[in-house]
Structure 1
Amino acid sequence: MQLIELFIAFFLAGLFSFGGGYAMVPLLQHEIVYRHGWMTAREFADQVGLAGIAPGPMAANIAVLTGHRVAGYAGAIVAMLGIVLPSLLLILLLGTLFFRYRDNRWVQASLYGLRPAVAGLIAYAAVSFAKSGGMLETISWFAASQLLLFAGALIALLVYRKHPVSVMIVSGLVGVALYS
């Protein structure tokens, strides 16, 4: 039964999420933490951090980690299939249609409408992680250092255009230095 629940949860997340791994995080969090109770919000935030630094697509990494935790290797495989299958089927269909109708004004308008929604989902994920990590509860050294680390990473990415992997490595090393 758990394998079926894993497949359905990740299939639906893959089917109804647009914008890539980080945009998918709020829906995955709802399914994994709140609907099924497979882990706590804090554990989910830690898992997303691990999935973000591992090679490969974020959503696939989250699926494998969650599936393995819930039902071992079979769970990892089932969750991975669930998250990937909707994209595979949908992109085959949409790819064919998109190249045929990409200059259509309705298609262009829908893409412009999706962009801010995806940005909102990513912002929601960031605030949700900050809450689960205790960053927004009180003003403490820990919360302030976390916000400074976030701001530094954001500046490195946006202003100095540093590679995301290098920013993640440096942030991890700073975390070890500050919090161990």
Structure 2
Amino acid sequence: MILLKLFWSFFQIGMFSIGGGMAAMPLIQNQVVNLHHWLTLTEFTDLITIAEMTPGPIAINSATFVGIRIAGIPGAIVATIGCIFPSCVIVSLLAWIYFKFKELTVVQGILSGLRPTIVALIASAGLSIFILAVWGEDGFSTNPLTINLVSVLLFTVAIFILRKWKPNPIYVMLGSGIIGGAIYLLI
């Protein structure tokens, strides 16, 4: 039964996650944290971090991680297949349609209409992570004492470095992780 739930949950995520891995994060959060309570919000944030750092698409890495956590190796396989199956079918179908009808303005209009939705999904995922990093699991608060100053400082410095010198983001993530880890060990 749990394997069927894993497959169905990640099938839905794979079916409706348009725009890449980060756009799928709100869908994964809804299924894994809110609906099935397989992970807490903190564990979900850790999942995002691990899925970002490991090679491969973030949604598939997330499916594999959640599947292993919930039902071991069979869970990882079932969740991963559930996540990629809709994409394989949809991409094959869309490729056929696109090459057959790419000159139609309706097709171009549909693609243009999807862009703002994708941006909103990515922004929603980013905002959720930002709120969790700055205020914790309790969420946004107007009380300044609840703000995690280390997170705000690391975020501000990382944004500044990325905008000013445009280094490889991996180096910024690695540096932030090392500095954050050192700070939290000292505190």
Same fold (TM over 0.5): yes
* Paired residues for 1:56-135 under 5 Å: 56-135=56-135
Q: Distance in 1 between matches of 2:121 and 2:164?
A: 22
Unmatched runs of 5 consecutive residues or more in structure 1: none
Does residue 148 (structure 1) correspond to residue 115 (structure 2)? The answer is no
Indicate the structure (1 or 2) with the bigger Cα radius of gyration. Answer: 2
Give 1:124 shift: 1.0
Does the aligned pair in 2 maintain the 1:21–1:57 contact within 8 Å? Answer: yes
Query: Which of the residues 166, 169, 174 maps onto 1:164?
Result: 169
Give 1:3 shift: 0.3
Assess, with a 3 A threshold, how the Cα gap between structure 1 residues 107 and 161 changes in structure 2: closer, same or farther: farther
The match for 2:50 is: 50
Q: Distance in 2 between matches of 1:103 and 1:157?
A: 39
Q: Normalising by the residue count of structure 1, what TM-score does the alignment of the two structures yield?
A: 0.90
Does the aligned pair in 1 maintain the 2:67–2:73 contact within 8 Å? Answer: yes
Unmatched runs of 5 consecutive residues or more in structure 2: none
Assess, with a 3 A threshold, how the Cα gap between structure 1 residues 154 and 108 changes in structure 2: closer, same or farther: farther
Identity %: 39
Give 1:169 shift: 1.4
- Aligned residue pairs, count: 180
C-alpha RMSD over aligned residues: 1.9
The one-letter code matched in structure 2 to 1:123 is: A
Assess, with a 3 A threshold, how the Cα gap between structure 1 residues 107 and 156 changes in structure 2: closer, same or farther: farther
Q: Deviations over 1:61-96 (max 9, x none)?
A: 100110011001110111000101111111111112
The match for 1:178 is: 183
Counterpart secondary structure, 2:165: coil
Q: Distance in 2 between matches of 1:75 and 1:20?
A: 23
Assess, with a 3 A threshold, how the Cα gap between structure 1 residues 158 and 77 changes in structure 2: closer, same or farther: farther
Does the aligned pair in 2 maintain the 1:157–1:164 contact within 8 Å? Answer: yes
Assess, with a 3 A threshold, how the Cα gap between structure 1 residues 21 and 43 changes in structure 2: closer, same or farther: same
The match for 1:22 is: 22
* Paired residues for 1:3-42 under 5 Å: 3-42=3-42
Q: Distance in 2 between matches of 1:15 and 1:2?
A: 20
